[in-house]
Structure 1
Amino acid sequence: MGDPRKSRRKWEGPGMPWLSQALKSEQKIMGDYGLRNKKEIWLARTIVTGYRHMARSLLALPPAERAVREKQLLGKLYKLGLLKSEQSTIDDILGLEEESLLERRLQTIVHRKGLARTIYQARQLIVHGHIAVGGRKITSPGYIVKRDEEDSIDFYPTSPFKNNPPTAGQGEVNVEQKGN
């Protein structure tokens, strides 16, 4: 297992990080999902690559064992929300992109549900402890929300936003009133 004080990184960086096309696409993904740094993209890419590798390794197994393991992997990815239906196939796993995993992050789902005005505000609300999943406070924006937890995302009971959620006009200064 190794020394717990010397943990390994959980992501694999790009082979050629300075390609202009890669830089542009990573920058766009960072803006779309409100990511703090590119390591979050690389982590998602590494996780999805691992799932695709598992799917490819299933193809080499004997048919009886393959059917059992394929069902397990498909069930797991469906519960995570990475696959659209329970009748998905290995081809669907091989077609996964990192965006499908980034869509399952708590930060993204909080923004999509309308609990935050922007993706960046969603990150801040999570880090500051205002968001709960199933009544449990989650402070990690990268938390992968499972399909059955998605409906239980709400403000933490002691959060001041529970009764007064952020709205589109909150915090903005009216220019006409400012001059008077």
Structure 2
Amino acid sequence: MPRLKTVQSKVTKSPRRPFEKERLDQELKLIGTFGLKNKREVWRVKYTLAKVRKAARNALLRRLVKIGVLDETKMKLDYVLGLKVEDFLERRLQTQVFKLGLAKSIHHARILIKQHHIRVRRQVVDVPSFIVRLDSQKHIDFSLQSPYGGGRPGRVKRRTLRKGDGAGDDDEE
């Protein structure tokens, strides 16, 4: 039976400088402490750790750019450490509704959200602390069921319409 070919990825990375006193001593200490067979096993673990760190760094930066807290030109960990509370508070739905002019004040924005008047894309969101992604920001508007969005009119407007219809019927008779 023929042997199947497998794709093998790189598992180790040898050091750039072969003779560094500090690194050689550190590797020798690790070999003795953990009972490793050779330095290639140390290099394999270091390479795996480097891949995990790189993946975590990229995932964090990508996530912060996606929600709009970090700019694409500032995709470095130094900028992440410089983030402030205000950067995250700017991305809340309550703040975005006020900034877009859908509400008269920041407090009015909170009330509109809690009373189901605001939607993001097609989904009605009733959580003021909802973090709005950068691509969803342009899809914030009034709900279709909301009187602000052309839905059923509110209580006062319905009453005035009813009075207007009732008065019109009496005049015709």
- Is the contact made by 1:78 and 1:86 (CA closer than 8 Å) also made in structure 2? no
| Structure possessing the higher radius of gyration over alpha carbons | 2
Counterpart residue type for residue 104 of structure 2: R
Would you say 1:81 and 2:77 are equivalent positions?
no
The answer (yes or no) to whether the contact 1:105–1:141 under 8 Å persists in 2 is yes
Please, which of 78, 86, 89 is the counterpart of residue 99 of structure 1? 86
Indicate conservation of the 8 Å contact 1:75/1:86, yes or no: no
Are 2:143 and 1:143 aligned?
no
In structure 2, the partner of 1:131 is 118
Secondary structure at the counterpart of residue 139 of structure 1 = coil
Matched letter for residue 68 of structure 2: G
What displacement does 1:84 show?
A: 1.3
Q: Unaligned 5+ residue runs, structure 1?
A: 1-60, 165-180
Instruction: Tell me how far apart the structure 2 counterparts of residues 62 and 86 of structure 1 sit (CA, whole Å).
Output: 27
Higher relative CO (Cα under 8 Å, sequence separation at least 6) belongs to 1
Q: Deviations over 1:25-83 (max 9, x none)?
A: xxxxxxxxxxxxxxxxxxxxxxxxxxxxxxxxxxxx95433222211110011111110
TM-score between both structures, scaled by the size of structure 2? 0.56
TM superposition score normalised by structure 1: 0.54
Question: Counting helix residues as a fraction of each chain, which structure ranks higher?
Answer: 2
Alpha-carbon contact 1:137-1:156 (below 8 Å) kept: yes
In 2, distance between residues paired with 1:129 and 1:86? 36
Q: 2 CA distance for matches of 1:87 and 1:142?
A: 25
RMSD (Å) for aligned C-alpha atoms:
1.9
Deviations 1:105-140 (A, max 9, x none): 000000001111111110110000000001111111
Equivalenced residue count is 104
The structure 2 residue matched to 1:159, chosen from 146, 153, 160, is 146
Q: Structure 2 unaligned runs (5+)?
A: 1-47, 152-173
**Superposed displacement of residue 147, structure 1:** 1.1
What pairs up with 1:35-114 in 2 under 5 angstroms? Answer: 62-85=49-72, 87-114=74-101
Q: Give me the identity figure in percent.
A: 38
